Amino acid sequence: MKHKDDIPRDPVWYPFTQMQEFAEQSPLVITGAQGCWLQDEKGKRHLDGVSSLWANVHGHRHPVIDRAIEEQMGRVAHSTMLGLSHPGGIELARQLVEHTPEGLNRVFYSDSGATAVEIGLKMAYQYWQLKGETQRYRFLKLSEAYHGDTIGAVSLGGMNLFHERFDRLLFDTVKVPTPHLYRHTFAIEDEKDVVERYFSLSQDLIESYAEQACGFFIEPLIQGAAGMIVHPHGYLKHIRDLTRKHNMLLIADEVAVGFGRTGKMFASSWEDVSPDLLCLGKGITGGYMPLAATLATEEVFSAFLGDFKDLKTFFHGHTYTGNPLACAAALASLTVFEEEKTLDTSVFGPKSQKYSDGMQRLAQLQHVGSVRYRGLMGGVELVAKNNTKEPYQFEKRMGYQVILEARKLGVMLRPLGDVIVLMPPLAISLEELDLLFEVTEKAIRKVTEG
């Protein structure tokens, strides 16, 4: 055994973190939470402005979810889904099928957004192999997509900052330009023309790869990690129509936008879109436990059926696939959606209105270039010069400065570069929303206007 003196005070290597900075600035240690508030070891409370990384839905320590996990603990914490099953896993699958868009009938569990994406990727590929269309091996994706940090998911991603380093390890994909109304590079100004250009670019690429493509991966409505890029209305439907016409699968990654963030249970529903595969994660357990799911249509599922010797089986699984505690949390979260009418217009509407008003106020600030949101999910992009959209120098880390300032005022945020993400739990109260926007405005002003 090692001597205690040789062990670092905190040996944790933190995710997405320059560890050298930790020498001067150690992370806040969270020891408790209640509702939309986190509490640190010194007893200070912080409003959870990003839902503990886009996961929490009904608030922390919700009695219904807490109790469901405790009760499951009294039965069994974990047994495998490789060869065995459990009632919560079956019931949750039934409820997910009930809530998700038309056609999605089958549920494959895993434990994180990235694994849900890897599963979607492998399912889509194997599906076409089993259908005898073995020339299909390519995937289309949006140029600034984010689908997680494992190598398959990174191949489908397009965020240079995170992904470029691993270039040689990644498989080739077809990049469809992200429809970004604020930062497009066309020499045209009229928004309608810009939208049209994006529509036709995606159409050209889908047509060109119609014979070779397995599928098209998309984050419906909002590309989260890329900086809360909100797609123009009708874009998802457009991609659905084209992928259907040209016979490739549509794989919707609703890991971030799913479970009510945009005001409907699933973002695809806004445009009446049913994907062939649907990836879920983050909010699926109300933000309590690691769980993810990839849903498939009966058409995809049935291609995998056959005698064992035909080797059509989907050979994939994780140790904690469909963990019973996590399934109990997810079932309880769906119960809370129902009991608290979380997404009813009378409950969600006023919050969404206040959120929208708050965003529009922030949009007036001198160094806010763009605000982008749907429902209670969005971001505020800071710029050095508003008229030219000139970004701040990367090294200035303006987004990071703003969240440090907000933290002093009791609000916990996390930026994406110079985009300040505002994505509170759906359970946030109107008063807490006021505080969220008040503090965000103060912090942005202090950092950008001095």
Give the binding site for ligand PLP (CB under 6 A). 112-114, 117, 146-148, 219, 224-225, 253, 255-256, 281-282
d(CA 197, CA 317): 41
Q: How far is the CB of 262 from ligand PLP (least distance, A)?
A: 13
Q: Are 101 and 250 in contact (CB under 8 A)?
A: no
Give 396's Cβ-side CA count (13 Å radius).
Answer: 12
CB nearer to ligand PLP: give 249 or 280: 280
**Residue 254 vs 432, nearer CB to ligand PLP:** 254
Q: Which residues contact 119 (CB under 8 A, 6 or more apart)?
A: 108, 110, 279, 294, 316
Amino acid symbol at 398: M
Q: Cα 192 from chain centroid?
A: 28
Minimum Å gap between C-beta 157 and ligand PLP is 9
Q: How far is the CB of 43 from ligand PLP (least distance, A)?
A: 30
CB of 56 to ligand PLP, least distance (A): 13
Least distance between ligand PLP and beta carbon 236 (Å): 14
Core vs surface per residue 187-200: b (16+ CB within 10 A) or e: eeeeeeebbeebbe
Output the six-digit token pair for 5: 């003196």
**In degrees rounded to 5, what are phi and psi of residue 411?**
-120, 130
Residue closer to ligand PLP, measured from CB, 295 or 368: 295
Which run of H or E residues covers position 109?
strand 104-110
Considering the complex, state which of residue 15 and residue 43 has its C-beta at the smaller distance from ligand PLP: 15
Cβ proximity to ligand PLP: between 130 and 278 the closer is 278
Q: How far apart, in whole angstroms, are the C-alpha atoms of residue 84 and residue 86?
A: 7
Which amino acid, one-letter code, is at 81?
Answer: M
Rg (CA), the chain: 22
* Closest residue to ligand PLP in the complex (CB): 113
Shorter beta-carbon distance to ligand PLP: residue 146 or 235 = 146
Nearest approach, Cβ of 417 to ligand PLP (angstroms)? 15
Of 35 and 424, the one with the shorter C-beta distance to ligand PLP is 424
Burial 246-266 (b: 16+ CB within 10 A, else e): bebbbbbbbbbbbbbbbbbbb
Of the pair 50, 447, the CB lying nearest ligand PLP is at 50
Q: Which residues contact 283 (CB under 8 A, 6 or more apart)?
A: 51, 54, 55, 56, 57, 258, 259, 260, 261, 333
Per the structure block, which two tokens stand in for 231? Answer: 């797609």
Nearer to ligand PLP among residue 114 and residue 326 (C-beta): 114
CA distance 368 to 362: 7
Minimum separation from the CB atom of position 330 to ligand PLP (A): 14
Closest approach, Cβ 153 to ligand PLP, in A, equals 7
In angstroms, give the least distance from the CB of 255 to ligand PLP.
4
